[in-house]
Chains A and B, each alone.
Chain A
Amino acid sequence: MITVRGLAKYYGAYQAIEALDFSISRGEIVGLLGLNGAGKSTVLKILGAFLVPSAGYAEVAGCSIADNPQAVRRAIGFLPDSPPLYHEMSVDAYLAYVLRLKVGRLSRAELERQRDEALDRTALTAERHRTLGELSHGFAQRVGIAQAIIHKPPVLILDEPINGLDPVQIVEMRDLILSFRHEHTVILSSHILSEITRTCDRILILDQGQLVAQGAEAELAKSMRGDKKITATTAQDPQAAVATIKKLNGVDAVACQQNARGEYELTLQATADVRSQVAQQLVAYELLALSTAEAGLEALFMQLVSAAPRRTGEQA
């Protein structure tokens, strides 16, 4: 449904995204994850035929963005990072306006049917006569979603849909996005890792304009080469043993710090289960606890985005 090959975008001399390659299948919900300025919004604006790429090829719903932007615009619903609302209009009038803008001429009965459906799906029926300027951020964001889905586009492009929502609204928005599964192909962006993992089938991690990893959460976690986080607690200071532990086969990094109870916590990043060797080294320091956990997506994300020096003057 979405194909991207060698996509690049420059803002003057600044390269916002470079040589991106990915594809998204029909009915998938895919998340673009990255820090602020990673290039997420630029990618979404290009897929929304809002921006023309500087290089590369992008196709949405079988239509080339460069050659047939109007067909792409017909096939998408777009929610920018801030919902595009006219504050003096009512919810009803606004949605009717957007629907006509998207599909052109249509009968009053059809307009009302599609508008009612969008209002129903976004739970806005009770607010339909309210002026947009009076709505809370949560409702405004829902109107933003309603305008994106009102013409039933096969592809939904949502830029930071949970941005600025409170915890209850986040849950509601998550459920709403999940309800689009199989009906729409969804690509959304966020810098909130936990939300992306809960909502999306697949994640694309962007850093400084480059696609540094992609896959389902489980696949990405596997790509940590079986990395483990081992935590040991001792009653006595194990500093003397740290150097030996660091030399153990499979240990990447070791950190030691004292907790509030006066105990010493040793944290190891390791590619193998070295708990028994660590226990042998720490037993002399009154080992109190020893545990292991698979390194999660958060560790991978931090590893990927902290590898390169940060860019400055970023636009997207």
Chain B
Amino acid sequence: MTRSLLIVQRELRAFFGTWSGYIIAALALLIEGLLFNAFALGSQPKFSAEVLSSFFYFSSGITMVAALFLAMRLIAEEKQAGTIVLFFTSPLSERELVYGKFLSAFIFLTVMHIISLYLPVLILINGKISLGHLAAGYLGLSLIGAATLALALFCSTIASGQLIAGILATCLLVTMLIMWILAGVVEEPFKALFSYLALHNDHFNPFSQGLVNTKHIIYYLSVIIFCLESSVRVLKVRRWQG
């Protein structure tokens, strides 16, 4: 655990010590602000709760893209730079490495979410929303962000470079997003299966409307743990393959 925290510390320093972290955060927040103004507020009168739901809907997309950019480099960059040797010749387990990397990116993503709080606070000041809705929405954003991070981290583990990791992660993410479209064109039992596997639609929308259901939390946690444990397994297998 100590070593995982050490990795978290170093990664956060790398995120905040280089331009890449700031660029990802600034772009995400800029686009989020623009979308909030153009679509969430819109030109038609709306209830505050509707504005907030729209905000979480757009934020979820931005969160996924930002998570993808943050996580695709986590392991692939170490492989490219040759620094992965440092971990593999230190008394550090593959699990400590993977969870440390994941945690660092998750903390960075959470910081971005905290900064974005000013937008719903504007709704809170000028309208009427419940804090429960706000909390549920941010819980949803954190879960979908963490799931995307885990997915991209897995791609970063299997890819030899950042670019390939990014392409793989995008393909996997898009596949998991369009599952709900596939669910609309196939018969049961695939309909239910695809619908359940879709990363966004059925699982995220309730959060954006202020509803928290355990089954959606369990879905996201399952995706996160599955991807992280698969990453651990890939790194262990690498010791055999060379």
Contacts and interface: CB of A to CB of B under 8 A. Distances in A.
Contacts of B81: 84, 86-87
A97 B241 contact: no
Interface stretch (B50-58, B83-91, B122-130, B160-168): B83-91
A108 to B, nearest CB: 14
Contacts of A80: 82, 85
A45 B242 contact: yes
A101 B240 CA distance: 23
Given A104-B2, A105-B2, A52 B240 contact: yes
A226 B17 CA distance: 63
A51 B89 contact: no
Contacts of B88: 48-50
A229 interface: no
B85 A11 contact: no
Given A78-B89, A97-B6, A104-B2, A84 B242 contact: no
B75 to A, nearest CB: 14
A101 B3 contact: yes
Nearest to B18: A88
B83 A104 contact: no
Contact of B92 (A11, A78, A101, A105): A101
Given A88-B14, A88-B17, A315-B242, A48 B89 contact: yes
Contacts of B83: 84-86
A101 B86 contact: yes
A102 interface: yes
Nearest to A74: B91
A42 interface: yes
Given A9-B242, A42-B242, A84-B83, A50 B89 contact: yes
Contacts of B95: none
Interface string A1-23: 00000000101000010000000
Contacts of B84: 84
Contacts of A98: 86, 90
Contacts of B3: 100-101, 104
A43 to B, nearest CB: 12
A71 B93 CA distance: 12
A36 interface: no
Nearest to A53: B240
Contacts of A16: 242
Contact of A84 (B14, B17, B86, B91): B86
Q: By DSSP majority rule, is chain B's interface helix, strand, loop, or mixed?
A: helix
B120 to A, nearest CB: 34
Contacts of A74: 91
B14 A51 contact: no
A105 B5 CA distance: 11
A206 interface: no
Interface string B1-41: 01100100010001001100000000000000000000000
A111 B80 CA distance: 29
A303 interface: no
A50 B92 contact: no
A102 B92 CA distance: 8
B239 interface: yes
Contacts of B82: 80, 82, 84
A11 B242 CA distance: 7
A97 B89 contact: no
Given A88-B14, A101-B3, A76 B241 contact: no
B236 to A, nearest CB: 9
B14 A102 contact: no
B242 A70 contact: no
Considering the complex of A and B, which 6 residue pairs feature the smallest CB-CB distances, nearest first?
Answer: A78-B89, A84-B83, A84-B86, A73-B91, A80-B85, A48-B89
Given A73-B91, A84-B83, 8 more contacts: A11-B242, A45-B242, A52-B239, A84-B82, A87-B81, A88-B17, A101-B6, A105-B2
24 contacts: A16-B242, A48-B88, A49-B89, A50-B88, A51-B239, A51-B240, A71-B91, A73-B92, A74-B91, A78-B85, A80-B82, A80-B85, A84-B82, A84-B83, A85-B83, A86-B83, A87-B81, A98-B86, A101-B3, A101-B6, A101-B86, A101-B92, A104-B2, A315-B242
Interface of A: 9, 11, 16, 42, 45, 48-52, 70-71, 73-74, 76, 78, 80, 82, 84-88, 97-98, 100-102, 104-105, 147, 315-316
Interface of B: 2-3, 6, 10, 14, 17-18, 81-93, 239-242
